Amino acid sequence: MPDHPENLDAVLDRVSGFWSEEDIARLKDAYQFAEAAHSEGPPRKTGHPFISHPLAVAEILTKIEADPATVIAGLLHDVVEDTDVTIEQIEERFGESVAQLVDGVTTLSRLSFQTRQERQAGNLRKMFLAMAEDIRVILIKLADRLHNMRTLYGLDVEKQRAMAQETIQILAPLAHRLGIWRFKWELEDLAFRYLEPEKYYEIAQLLGVGRREREARIEAVRAAVRGRLEQAGIKATVQGRAKHIYSIAQKMEKQDISFDRIADLAAIRIIVDTVADCYAALGLVHQLWIPIQGMFTDYIAKPKSNKYQSLHTKVIGPDKQPLEVQIRTWDMHRVAEYGVAAHWRYKEDEGTVGSDDQIALLRQVIELETDLTESHEFLELLQMDLFNDQVFVFTPDGDVIDLPAGAGPIDFAYRVHTEVGHRCVGARVNGRQVPLSYTFRNGDIAEIITSPNSEPSRDWMELVKSSRAKSKIRHFLRANMRAENVAAGREALRRSLEAQPPKLRRLIDIEKLEPLLESFGFREKDDLLAAVGYGDIEADTVVRNLIALEDVQPGSLAEEVERVLAESGSSATKTSGIPAISVDGVNGFQCRRSRCCSPLPGDQIKGYITRGRGLTIHRGDCKNLRYHERIDPARVIPLAWAAQDRKAVFQHELEIVAVDRVGLFSHIAAVVAECGINIATANASVADSGVAHLNMRLDIRRRQDLDHVLERLRSLIDVISVRQLSLARNSTS
Domain-embedded: residue 500? yes
Q: Are residues 622 and 659 in the same domain?
A: no
pLDDT above 60 (res 124): no
Domain shared by 724 and 694, yes or no: yes
Backbone angles phi, psi at 654, to 5 degrees: -120, 145
Based on the fold, state whether residues 370 and 496 are members of the same structural domain: no
Domain that holds residue 612: 583-644
| 629, amino acid identity | E
Q: In whole angstroms, give the CA distance from residue 186 to residue 150.
A: 9
- At 652 the three-state DSSP class reads strand
**Does 260 or 430 have the greater pLDDT score?**
430
Other CB atoms within a 10 A radius of the CB of residue 540 amount to 18
Q: Is the pLDDT of residue 420 over 90?
A: yes
Query: In terms of pLDDT, which residue wins out, 240 or 225?
Result: 225
Pairing of strands 636-641, 678-686: unpaired
CATH of the domain at 716: 3.30.70.260
For residue 418, give the H/E element and its range: helix 418-422
Cα 7–9–15 angle (5° rounding)?
135
The CATH number for 329's domain is 3.30.460.10
Task: Quote the mean pLDDT of the chain.
Answer: 78
Which one of 622, 644, 666 terminates a domain?
644
pLDDT at 410: 95
Which range (390-399, 434-443, 599-608, 708-717) has the least confidence? 390-399
**440 and 411 fall within a common domain:** yes
Same domain, 272 and 211: yes
502 confidence band (pLDDT: 50, 70, 90):
low
66 and 172 co-located in one domain: yes
Q: Around Cβ 430, how many Cβ atoms within 10 Å?
A: 12
Is the pLDDT score of 153 beyond 60?
yes
Q: What is the pLDDT of residue 53?
A: 92
- pLDDT tens-place string over residues 461-501: 889 988 888 888 888 887 777 788 888 888 888 888 887 76
pLDDT at 589: 53
What confidence score (pLDDT) does residue 378 get? Answer: 47
- Can you give the CATH number for the domain in which 461 is found? 3.10.20.30
Q: Which residues pair with 424 in a beta bridge?
A: 450
Mean pLDDT of 395-424: 87
Secondary structure class of 159 (helix, strand, coil): helix
* Nearest alpha-carbon partner for 59 in 79, 75, 46: 75
On whether residue 132 sits in a domain, the answer given is yes
Number of Cα atoms under 13 Å in the Cβ half of residue 538: 14
Q: Please, which pLDDT band fits residue 350 given cuts at 50, 70 and 90?
A: very low
| Cα–Cα distance, 730 to 578 (Å, whole number) | 8
With respect to residue 346, please indicate whether it lies within any of the assigned structural domains.
no
For residue 719, what are the β-bridge partners? 658
Q: For 49-75, what is each residue's pLDDT tens digit?
A: 889 999 999 999 998 888 899 999 999
Give kind and range of the element (H or E) at residue 175: helix 172-177
pLDDT at 179: 74
Residues 527 and 608 in one domain: no
Instruction: Convert the pLDDT of each residue in 656-685 to its tens digit.
Output: 988 777 778 888 888 888 888 888 888 888
Q: Are residues 217 and 191 in the same domain?
A: no
Give strand pairing partners of 426. 449
Q: How far apart are CA 396 and CA 412, in angstroms?
A: 12
Q: CA-CA distance, 410 to 602, in Å (whole number)? A: 47
> Taking the mean position of all CA atoms in its chain, how far away is CA 393?
28
Look up the CATH number of the domain holding residue 171.
1.10.3210.10
Whether the pLDDT of residue 132 is over 60: the answer is no
Residues 652, 593 share a domain? no
Q: How confident is the model at residue 562 (pLDDT cuts 50, 70, 90)?
A: low
Measured N-to-C along each axis, helices 467-480 and 409-416 cross at an angle, to the nearest 10 degrees, of 80
Q: Does 1 fall in a domain?
A: no
- Which is nearest to 133 in space by CA: 354, 345, 386, 341? 354
> Catalytic site residue 81?
yes
Same domain, 525 and 561: no
Domain count, the chain: 6
**Distance between CA atoms of 42 and 31, rounded to whole angstroms?**
18
Do residues 471 and 368 make contact, with C-beta atoms less than 8 angstroms apart? yes
> What is the pLDDT confidence band of residue 41, given thresholds at 50, 70 and 90?
confident
Selecting among 82, 91, 369, 562, the annotated active-site residue is: 82
What confidence tens digit (pLDDT) does each residue in 584-615 have? 555 545 677 776 777 887 778 888 887 656 67
Query: How long a stretch of residues is the chain?
Result: 733
Residue 328: per-residue pLDDT? 96
Same domain for 47 and 180, yes or no, is yes
Q: Is residue 225 part of a domain?
A: yes
Is 66 found in the same domain as 191?
Answer: yes
pLDDT at 133: 62
| Percent residues over pLDDT 70 in the chain | 77
The 8-class DSSP code of residue 433 comes to: E
Instruction: With respect to residue 471, please indicate whether it lies within any of the assigned structural domains.
Output: no
Q: What integer pLDDT is reported at residue 538 of this predicted model?
A: 81
From 29, 81, 88, 526, active-site residue:
81
**Residue 82 known to be catalytic:** yes
User: What is the Cα–Cα distance from 338 to 157, expressed in whole angstroms?
Assistant: 32
Residue 119 resides in a domain = yes
Q: Are the CB atoms for 218 and 242 separated by under 8 Å?
A: no
Would residue 436 count as lying in a domain? Answer: yes
